[in-house]
Amino acid sequence: MLILNLIFSIIMYFVGLIVFCSKRKHLLLMLLSLEFIVLSLYFFMMVYLSLYVYEFFFSMIFLTMSVCESALGLGILVSMIRTHGNDYFQSFNVLW
């Protein structure tokens, strides 16, 4: 059962990478796929740590850092929508 969970988390990771690469025009979809990748890594870490009966303290630090990363991405998304009106990357010039 643990091997099945490990394989499932690896498949989740690669599906998140495929979605991240294919939806590169919208910032919101990229943020959602990044959160899916983080969720798959968290699931992989929990399965791996339970396999070797380690302590789960590092998983709480990882979860805290992922929440900070998502809050920062959401803040960038809100500021981009306020200044440019949408979340397309091609609608604004970076050097402008």
For residue 23, is it within any domain?
yes
For position 46, which CATH number holds?
Answer: 1.10.287.3510
For residue 57, is it within any domain?
yes
pTM surpassing 0.85?
no
Share above pLDDT 70 across residues of the chain, in percent, rounded to a whole number: 92
Q: Which pLDDT does position 44 carry in this prediction?
A: 92
- Do the beta carbons of residue 9 and residue 40 sit within 8 Å? yes
68-84: pLDDT as tens digits: 999 998 998 888 888 87
13-55: pLDDT as tens digits: 999 999 999 988 888 888 899 999 999 999 999 988 888 877 8
For residue 36, is it within any domain?
yes
User: HEC states along the chain?
Assistant: CHHHHHHHHHHHHHHHHHHHHHCCCEHHHHHHHHHHHHHHHHHHHHHHHHHCCCCCHHHHHHHHHHHHHHHHHHHHHHHHHHHHCCCECCCCCCCC
